[in-house]
Amino acid sequence: MRIDKYLWCVRYYKTRNMVTEACKKNQITVNGQIAKPSKEVFPTDRITFRKDQITQIITVLDIPQNRVGAKLVDIYQKNETPPEAFAHLEMLKLSKEHSRRTGAGRPTKKDRRDIDDYGDDFYDDEEDHDEN
């Protein structure tokens, strides 16, 4: 089976066109060699590709006839991606949630409330010092 059809069948990509584009960008390798979309894959082949900032490593166990349901994907492939890669992705997501680039537009409602609370705390401290 072709590599583009295989990765589509085991639901790593939404469309075969997306797999073809990844192949053209040299993001997919089969047994350490850069793969074209028409590269044939066989059981025991090791496929490495980069998707969603994770380098995924899978081993082909069997070739499906058509696109399979999500519950049946494990019959056709074995995911050998190290768990540290997924943990690293989670850390990236968390770090992006808490940071906001300067000049990224207007502050959100939560940002404004945080700024107002900070200012209120500052003015409350000044009033306490003035009364003494």
pLDDT in the model for residue 127: 58
60/132 Cα distance (integer angstroms): 76
Q: Are 30 and 45 in contact (CB under 8 A)?
A: yes
The model's pTM is 0.65
- CA 51 to mean position of chain CA atoms: 6
- Amino acid, res. 67: R
* Sequence-distant (≥ 6) Cβ neighbours of residue 6 within 8 angstroms: 41, 47, 60, 63, 64
Q: Over the stretch 78-97, which tens digit does the pLDDT of each residue have?
A: 988 888 877 877 877 777 66
List the chain residues with pLDDT less than 50. Answer: none
